[in-house]
Amino acid sequence: MPIRTIITPDNPVLRRKAHPVRDFKNPALQRLIDDMIETMRAAPGVGLAAPQVAVSQRVAVVEYAPGSEDLPESAEPPPPKLYVIINPEITARSEEQIEGVEACLSIPGYVGNVLRHRAVTVKAFNRQGRPIKIKAQGWLARIFQHEIDHLDGVLFIDRATKVWKAQPSDVGPE
């Protein structure tokens, strides 16, 4: 499983709406997913969308331990859960929105304040093509919204109220 190159906004693929996946049995799709997981972990990041590796398909991977953001620094975080979402759509959003600091593997060195829904419900397909439904809140909901934005050609800097050069203490998805 090779680590793929993460593209930046100068590559037009990052700004286009990605194409839906139609063939879940295609070995190239499964290789893409495996490569994306490896690339996300190596970056390191908590999410990666196919357009970020120059593939215009509606595929994203997320790996995050829900609840870990609320733990004291000395606590052992829970093991992260891996999500593979294909052709995802947000079917429900909380009215409440929360501003949080986000980063992006495709925009290295910068972070920004982004207003996102506190909770979302995501309908998608897993890597075998079976329908899944994920109810997420907090940082996990933020990560899903960030990755689904990538599938629509939207970057966090498009939604940010403020963007700045990252400092070591700045934390947030991706």
The values of phi and psi at residue 34, to 5°, are: -60, -45
Q: What's the CA gap between 82 and 68, in Å, rounded?
A: 14
Sort residue 4 into left (φ over 0), alpha (ψ -120 to 50) or beta. Answer: beta
The helix/strand/coil state of 126 is coil
DSSP 56-71: -BSEEEEEE-TTGGGS
Query: Strands (DSSP E) along 17-174, which ranges?
Result: 47-49, 59-64, 81-93, 97-103, 110-117, 119-125, 131-137, 162-165
| Catalytic residue positions, numbered | 147
Picking from 69, 45, 6, the residue whose alpha carbon sits closest to that of residue 146 is 45
